[in-house]
Structure 1
């Protein structure tokens, strides 16, 4: 918290327009996060025994909102052709990504329901509900496999095998199309950059030739 306070004060001192700095939403969030901490620390010195832990608990939401600053890193995309090509690929692949999400959602609902009915009657089963089985199905179909939920019945193992195979197929199906879009976007960005550099070099060459001709005329 001391570091956040130092950062806020340093930015406040460095900014030329103090009123505009204070009115910015992210800076307001910073101030609302810092003030309760120091108020609670200073209240015992003034004889107040009321704690602001409940208020500080509510400030957790505001502290999480501070993570929105991390989104500023995406401004670097303007200086990177790869990041711009990646963003263009995501825009062009909206249909493929939505199709992938639909297939995954369908498979998750199907296999989580099936394994729940196979595993629910086992003693100390962790598949106590369909939502709990959904977590298992997500990490299985995405080939992560943490191993925290494991089927023990024969039917459950069969369902798990089908979920693993279907997960690989579903993930691999739209990947080729997305890669084609990425190659297309990369070619567009690099092609535009090459054309601009070539045009710039051509213009510089033309100016150099015109300067040489003008010098010869003078001589």
Structure 2
């Protein structure tokens, strides 16, 4: 585990994925998606690992949901996720870490729709940022880089000056394609991830030093 992932490097903005990165929603998400997969006649065990970090539209298209019922299927799935939030918790230290950041310097960039994102953040006790890019804001979801590029643009920063916090392979690929630095949060990983990027298991050992110009450096927590 890397405790000091970018020593001496300052960033103009932080972009955070949500599920698996600042909160753990795996149990709830897999309950809902597992029930949906069984109704579709899919092999649940092989299907569930493919849902993380992706929008519902890409996931459903990948398994062949017809276009004429796709919108209704997505709406029903999202409502089920909004209704089922049991077991959703913050990643260790995330709330304190996020609240320590300059509000104009960070954003959440998630594949979830806004209503679901706001519901899960509230349940986990995490702040809703001034800026949040959701799956509804882009034409192409992760692993396309669109969401992170939009997040940096809305922060008014170059993506090359941003640090992207991610956990899922699709999100990591999106971050790489966008051109930002990547910090992998592996708190929810059941197995070691092969990644060239620095990794941390949570935020408890991390703090942020903010310079007068607003740039941020990750440092060790006191």
With the length of structure 1 as denominator, give the TM-score of the two structures. 0.26
Structure number with the higher strand fraction is: 2
**Bigger Cα Rg:** 1
Structure number with the higher helix fraction is: 1
- Structure with bigger RCO (C-alpha 8 Å, 6+ apart): 2
With the length of structure 2 as denominator, give the TM-score of the two structures. 0.26
